Amino acid sequence: RSSSSSSSSASKWWCRGGAAEDDSIVILETSPIEGMRPGTSGLRKKTRVWVEDPTYTLNFAQSLMDGWCVPKGVRSLVIGGDGREYSGECFEILASVAAANGVHRIVAPKGGVISTPAASALVRRLGVDGAVLMTASHNPGGLDGDFGIKFNDRDGSPAREDLTEAVYAASKTLKRIYIKRTNPLINNNVEMVDANDAYVAVLRECFDFEFLREKLRRASFVFDAMHGAAGPAARRVLADELQGDPSCLLRCDPRPDFGGGHPDPNLKWAADLASRFGLDSTGSSTSNFEDIFPVIGCACDGDGDRNMIVGAGIFVTPSDSLAVLAARAHKIRWFGRKLAAVARSMPTSRAVDRVAAHLGIPCLETPTGWKYFGNLMERYSPFLCGEESFGTGADHVREKDGLWAFLAWLSILDDGETVKDVMHSHWRQFGRDLYARYDFEEVDAASAAEMFDFLRSRDGVEEFDYTDPVDGSRATRQGIILDFPDTNERAVFRLSGTGSAGATVRLYLERYVPNPAQKDLDAVPAIVLADLARTAMSFARLPDFLGKSDPDVVT
Ligand code: G6P
Ligand code: ZN
């Protein structure tokens, strides 16, 4: 990089008058801003933090360059996001900084909106060196919500920890920001492409669209994009390609504030969808007449990578969804005749392990975070994986994929079969892993850390550490496990890595029922596991440490 002019203040650079020459690169002096460590999935902060001081974005953009793009020789990037508030301004900054740091090809989705899995597909199809994605995933958007930036490597996978740590390190020693002063959109290094062409091409490889078209003629469905980035792709695939009824597509127009909603597909935030299937916020069925409901429903989060699957009178936990897809993988074109392996994050229930044992294939256990699956996908193909946090996907891209999960479910449903039929026959065959999660949100970070130290000091607990079997990298302190072998129960405590304020503690609960009777098939996990939750909470002295005796969200 070279400079032809320089100036001293990092703020309001675009307001600076004067006729900049087209190719001029400006150097702005700056100083480090604290707290720019990317979490589980990028750097997330309140939108106002980004909006109120453009230096924040400028600093992080340059840190991406210093910690990643420049040392790794990144010359081409996809830049896009879920379209949330501040994305337009942020795009200009990212593109201007990237262009000044040797990125000579920038690919941007027309209209600015691209889902996370579609971006992963685009990176892989175009063979570009990575992606910078403006999203805070399932967190609310708008001025009072969250904004975030994550980045993906050249394989389309979320950046692994060595890269995110290098970016963080760069943010701590930052002195200069390099920007290209011209309007990036007029500059011909920005190439506008259709957000979903590459993605839909990949989905066509994964599924038999003819078969799915027939399926949608017979099985009624509802798809809720929650005003996020999955909407346009869902319209194109479900309505245009598969000729599904367009009125079954809800909230498929992306909005900067997600329509004021919380774009997180779970029973609390996607309650609208759940109620169309006769479900209340615990996942209990509220109706005796389940025939009146559609066969299957799906909601996706803001950036389109998460999914929730529901059926008439039944909510499918993400852990069970993974297990069922594994058991019926032969019905999904992508998987050919046999899966090479499956994987789940540690807190995800062990339902899929039982299927893997039955199929005689490896089942790998990773820390929370989709990035840990990327390396495994290079070794095992075809590959299916998932997380309790409403993530399901395969090695067709390197991100979890909400729309893919819905198409996978459509593929495995037999004619005339309901989602409840699928689950009951699965549980009869493999046993049922009852599963629920308690979230204690925005608690004091220091108190949460003390609680974890206290847990570590107690006998009989195990802390999850991970060594990547492919590159040997390590991830430690990934959750504390309490095992209750006598009752086939397990509880896991973990600190969330995706919040934007304070700390969030998660408590994951499960019980395995090997030969479920009808009452076990009908049981609502959140209710059945309440005793285990109380035991785990008192074991951790959670109310004392966190000052809360009830969770904020139960899923
Ligand atoms: C993001 C990642 C997921 C991960 C989840 C965990 O959605 O993409 O892979 O499971 O965060 O969130 P948490 O808040 O529990 O750290
Ligand atoms: Zn997401």
Give the number of the atom of ligand 1 that is nearest the alpha carbon of residue 504. Answer: 14
551 upstream amide cis, omega within 30 of 0 = no
Q: Read off the tokens for 217.
A: 């003629």
Q: How far is the CA of 321 from the centre of ligand 2 (A)?
A: 17
Is residue 21 pLDDT above 50, yes or no?
Answer: no
Looking at residue 9, what is its pLDDT?
A: 40
Is the pLDDT at 8 greater than 70? The verdict is: no
**Which tokens is 554 given?**
């139960």
Predicted confidence at residue 237, as pLDDT, reads 98
Distance in angstroms (rounded) separating the CA atoms of residues 246 and 251: 11
Task: Confirm or reject: Cβ of 301 under 6 Å from ligand 1.
Answer: no
Separation between Cα atoms, residue 32 and residue 88, nearest integer Å = 24
Provide the pLDDT confidence category of residue 500 given band limits of 50, 70 and 90: low
Tell whether the model's pLDDT for residue 82 goes beyond 80.
Answer: yes
Of all protein residues, the one whose alpha carbon is nearest to atom 2 of ligand 1 is 369
Tell me the pLDDT tens digit for each residue of 150-189: 999 999 999 998 999 999 999 999 999 999 876 655 555 7
Residue 318 near ligand 1, beta carbon < 6 Å: no
Instruction: From 352, 356, 344, select the one nearest 385 (Cα to Cα).
Output: 344
Choice among 18-32, 111-125, 443-457 with the minimum mean pLDDT: 18-32
User: Residue 520 is inside which H or E element, if any?
Assistant: helix 518-522
Considering only CA atoms, which residue is closest to atom 4 of ligand 1? Answer: 369
Burial class (CB in 10 A: 0-12, 13-18, 19+), 109: buried
Select which of 137, 157, 319, 411 is catalytic: 137
Order of all β-strands in the sheet with 341-345 = 363-366, 341-345, 383-387, 391-394
How far does the centroid of ligand 2 lie from the alpha carbon of residue 23, in Å?
Answer: 36
pLDDT of residue 4: 40
Say if CB 22 and CB 188 are below 8 A apart: no
The average pLDDT across 522-545 equals 96
DSSP secondary-structure letter at 259? G
For the chain, how big is the Rg over CA atoms in Å? 23
Residue 493 forms beta bridges with which residues?
Answer: 480, 507
Phi–psi pair at 522, nearest 5 degrees = -85, -10
Range scoring the smallest mean pLDDT among 41-55, 229-243, 284-298: 284-298
* Higher pLDDT, residue 192 or 10: 192
Pocket test for ligand 1, best of 133, 366, 498, 555 (most atoms within 8 A of CB): 498
pLDDT tens digits, 403-438: 999 999 999 999 999 999 999 999 999 999 999 999
CA distances from 317 to 50, 169, 509 (A): 35, 38, 12
Specify the amino acid at residue 164. Answer: T
Share the mean pLDDT of the chain.
93
Q: Which of 146, 266, 307, 389 to mutate to test the pocket of ligand 1 (most atoms within 8 A of CB)?
A: 389
DSSP letter string, 275-336: HTTTB-TTS-B--S-GGGS-SEEEEE-TTS-BEEEEETTEEE-HHHHHHHHHHTGGGSGGGT
Looking from the CA of residue 389, the nearest atom of ligand 1 is 10
**Closest ligand 1 atom to the C-alpha of 497?**
16
Asked whether residue 328 carries a pLDDT value surpassing 90, the answer given is yes
pLDDT at 216 over 90: yes
Indicate whether residue 553 lines ligand 1 (CB < 6 A): no
Q: What is the ipTM of this complex?
A: 0.98
Determine whether the shortest distance from the Cβ of 307 to ligand 1 is under 6 A. no
Closest ligand 1 atom, residue 371 Cα: 9
Tell me the residue length of the chain: 555
Is residue 391 in contact with ligand 1, taking CB distance under 6 Å?
Answer: yes
Q: Ligand 2 centroid vs 304 CA: distance in angstroms?
A: 6
User: What is the tens place of the pLDDT at every residue in 338-396?
Assistant: 999 999 999 999 999 999 999 999 999 999 999 999 999 999 999 999 999 999 999 99
Strands 296-300 and 307-311: antiparallel
Q: Per-residue confidence at 289, pLDDT binned at 50, 70, 90?
A: confident
Ligand 1 centroid – CA 276 distance (Å): 27
193 CB burial (10 A radius; 0-12, 13-18, 19+): middle
Q: Measured between alpha carbons, how far is 174 from 196 in angstroms, rounded to an integer?
A: 36
List CB contacts of 345: < 8 A, sequence separation 6 or more: 365, 366, 367, 368, 369, 372, 387, 388, 389
Q: What local confidence, expressed as pLDDT, does residue 13 receive?
A: 42
- Residue 457 annotated as catalytic: no
